[in-house]
Amino acid sequence: MTNPPADTLVHRSVPAPAGRIHLVEQGSGPLVLLVHGFPEGWYSWRHQLPALAAAGFRAVAVDVRGYGRSSRPEAVDAYRMVELVEDAVAVVAALGERSASIVGHDWGASIAATSALLRPDVFHAVALLGVPYSPPGGPRPSDVFAAMGGQEEFYVSYFQQPGRAEAEIEPDVRGWLAGFHAALSGDTMPGPDDPSPYFVGPGGRLRDRFPADRLPAWLGEPELDRLAGEFERTGLSGALNRYRNVDRDWADLAGHRGAPLTQPSLFIGGALDASVSWLADAIAAFPDTLPGLVASHLLDDCGHWVQQERPDRVNRILVDWLTGLAR
């Protein structure tokens, strides 16, 4: 397969267990697979694609199954983690490659980590953005989420019931996405004394606690229009089905309980991201769970959307890490 010139952004769809996976690639060289989180798409890597291409890498950002132009299977259990790993493996093969570095953000970080865990023959290095690695195991996830928040409901539990979050989001996709991104961004998130946007009050909605009428500095109206347009076309069920499979994942991966990732690895988080606070013990355990860790970075004044909030800093970190792997 002929690679495109380094300054060209190329869209294509490739066969995968999902049916098809849409991807966008730029550059030539060692393959770097970029996997987005919720509720995003390949476009969340728009700043990284040209930077990685300019540094001599073949950067490929996918639409995960259920998103964008990729296939959207109807069955809820089609979105379990082992299925998403097989999609990632299929993308590498369809691109004519045998192996890749894999980089993920949010749910994409979990997909990247599980891909590296299950298929170390394909994924020789892994970078995790926003969500640190926690080995499989522990209590059943839904039991943990149900116990959080007291009289309030944790957002993951809220997302797990099919149709419930869709009924909140889909009548005003653009407004909901604007509020959700603002709630988790370092420059617009609620203060420590405000009600948490990660919990739903009795009889309430998640969006009741989103910041109103303001966008993060990094998210302009054109970018929001593009993001909203994709979800207005596809709906949110495919994206939300990831949350509806956490217990299936727990069962599927039981045989890997406590397993470390031994490949060269990297972590980048936002210092203001709640995920970093909730999973502080996972970060502290990196010497055991990520023995191949090259570097771990917490970016000051940054929230959840690290590669979009701090694109230049993230690009430098990724390029330095990937270049070091090639030495």
Residues forming beta bridges with residue 265, ordered by sequence position: 126, 293
| Residue from 22, 36, 297, 304 carrying the catalytic annotation | 304
- Token output for 23: 């991807």
Hunting for tokens 């002929």 — which residue is that? 2
- Which amino acid would we find at residue 27? G
Identify the active-site residue in 63, 106, 249, 273: 106
Tokens of 202: 């009795």
* Cβ within 8 Å of residue 176, ≥6 positions away: 168, 169, 207, 210
| 273 classed as catalytic | no
304 is catalytic: yes
27 is written with which tokens? Answer: 């550059």
Cβ 265 vs Cβ 127: under 8 Å: yes
SS (H, E, C) 78-146: HHCHHHHHHHHHHHHHHCCCCCEEEEEECHHHHHHHHHHHHCCCCEEEEEEECCCCCCCCCCCHHHHHH
Question: Which residues are designated catalytic?
Answer: 106, 304
